Structure 1
Amino acid sequence: MQTQFERLKSNKAFELFVIGVIVVSALLIGAKTYTLPQSVVDATIALDYFITLFFLVEITIRFIAEQNKKRFFHSFWNTFDTLIVVVSLVPIDNSEMAVVGRLIRVFRVLRMVSIIPELRILLTSLVKALPQLGYVMLLMFIIFYIYAAVGSTLFHHINPDLWGDITISLLTLFRVMTFEDWTDVMYETMEVYSLSWIYYLTFIFLSAFAFLNMVIGIVVNVMEQEHAKARADKLKENGQTEVTMQDLQQQIAELKMIIQSKR
């Protein structure tokens, strides 16, 4: 049974069917937000029971197919999927639990992340990039705070709604950084301070250009590392080893030494 379930779990058609059920589950959640005829409501309830039962059967198949049952929950994604399936078993017939049950079932869409390897790599990359992004965000907040203090000091009498205090100034600067009608804010202050455009342009270059590129660079770097790790793990599963540039250089050096010794 374990061998059969392992083959079934690795079957591409079965994986596509699981993805299809997840998509249907997501569409079902959206359909329930509309006013539907009673017959359609009954059909959605029956379909919801089927999806919940299917997820329970699918996670059971994956558990039985695991060779080392004790290590099944060592995987974050297995624990994540199991938690979603178990929580989805909460009944929603009770009117008091209906809202909670619907909210819980929304998270079943997240199973798409655990099924598709590319999505797992994206999410893992974002999580692993958070420590590095934290320092960038801290530096970005310092720049925001300095510019907010300067803006509140210079422009509060021009428009208190935008520059009344430092918290409002921070929101205004966020608006400027996202380019949401920022020129209207700049032209308003330029009527009093003609050189205030320097304030806005320097802030935009620091926040929207420099820091944004730093964030993108960090995320892309972590994603490349995760892709390389995924390739190495796949080769390891197939009994192969990944050939690196250092290995090639070492092999070339050994070949040179052999050729020179024969001369």
Structure 2
Amino acid sequence: MYETIKLNLNNLKNNKIFELTVVAVIIISALEIGAKTFSLPNTAISITHVLDIFITLFFLFEISVRFIADDDKKRFFKKGWNVFDTLVVAISLVPINDSEMALLARLIRVFRVLRMVSVVPELRILINSLIKALPQLGYVILLMFIIFYIYAAIGSFIFNDINPKLWGDIAISMLTLFRIMTFEDWTDIQYETMEVYPMSWVFYLSFIFFTAFAFLNMVIGIVVNVMEDERAKMRQEKESAKNIPTIEDLHSEIQELKKLIQQQSENRKDT
């Protein structure tokens, strides 16, 4: 009995229509959260309340299907995305009205939109790539901070008398340099200092070259390499999964064996 239920739930979990339904409910959840930020009439508030209950129950059903259909339930909660989905669904069950955890429950419902990442494999690759790239990006960020610190100290010493609001101390200078790196009206800052120091353009162009061009390309290169590794691992997992018999294959083999045994027993009775 349990194996039959597990087989049916596994077929449901792998069904494309069910997967699209989950994606659609997540999108509806995002729209429902956004609608609550507006001033709504009482009828619309009642509709969003009913819709919120439906979404919560649907997510509870979906996570239950995934858990029951999983072959190794001990390892189910060892996967980060399964833990995240379970926590979001569990906290979403907390009643919002007349509760001390009402604010927390509302905030957790916002994070239900992130369930799109756990449902869509391509999004999981992006997030996993960013997480795995963080150790390598740490050295790039450290080197970028050193460049920021050096240029901020130079700018504070040289340009402090020109505009103390932008170059008053090293902390304000670093904020100004961040503005320059993002190209937010950086030419206004440059022309202001060039009126006193005509060669100050070297300061700005060299800083932009190091940060906006060199370091940005380094970050992109690291993330792209990690993403290629993740895609290669996913392709290997899919290829290995093709060679592993599924529950459906085992179930069909068992049925065929039962038929063969019945045929042999009938043939023996005839003889």
TM-score for the superposition, normalised by structure 2: 0.87
SS in 2 for 1:238: helix
Aligned position for 1:236: 240
Residue 55 (1) aligns with residue 44 (2)? no
Aligned position for 2:193: 189
Distance 1:163 1:55 in 2: 52
> Given residue 227 of structure 2, which amino acid in structure 1 is its aligned partner?
M
Distance 1:206 1:159 in 2: 24
How many angstroms does 1:69 deviate by?
Answer: 1.5
Instruction: Give the 5 Å matches for 1:94-243.
Output: 94=98, 96-239=100-243
Distance 1:40 1:100 in 2: 23
Which one of 18, 38, 41 corresponds to residue 42 of structure 2?
Answer: 38
> Given residue 153 of structure 2, which amino acid in structure 1 is its aligned partner?
A
Q: Say what the alpha-carbon RMSD is for the aligned residues.
A: 1.0
> Given residue 236 of structure 2, which amino acid in structure 1 is its aligned partner?
A
Aligned position for 1:71: 75
Paired positions, count = 240
Distance 1:80 1:235 in 2: 27
Which range moves more in the overlay, 198-207 or 100-109?
A: 100-109
Residues 123-147 of structure 1, C-alpha deviation per residue, up to 9 Å, x if partnerless? Answer: 0000000000000000000000000
Distance 1:98 1:71 in 2: 32
> Structure 2 stretches of 5 or more lacking a match?
245-271
> Given residue 236 of structure 1, which amino acid in structure 2 is its aligned partner?
S
Aligned position for 1:244: none
Distance 1:80 1:237 in 2: 25
Distance 2:238 2:120 in 1: 15
SS in 2 for 1:192: coil
> Given residue 65 of structure 2, which amino acid in structure 1 is its aligned partner?
I
How many angstroms does 1:79 deviate by?
Answer: 1.1
Aligned position for 1:260: none
> Structure 1 stretches of 5 or more lacking a match?
241-263
Distance 2:175 2:218 in 1: 22
Aligned position for 2:247: none
Which range moves more in the overlay, 97-106 or 12-21?
A: 97-106
Distance 2:72 2:180 in 1: 55
Distance 2:79 2:193 in 1: 56
Instruction: Give the 5 Å matches for 1:75-94.
Output: 75-94=79-98
Aligned position for 1:6: 10
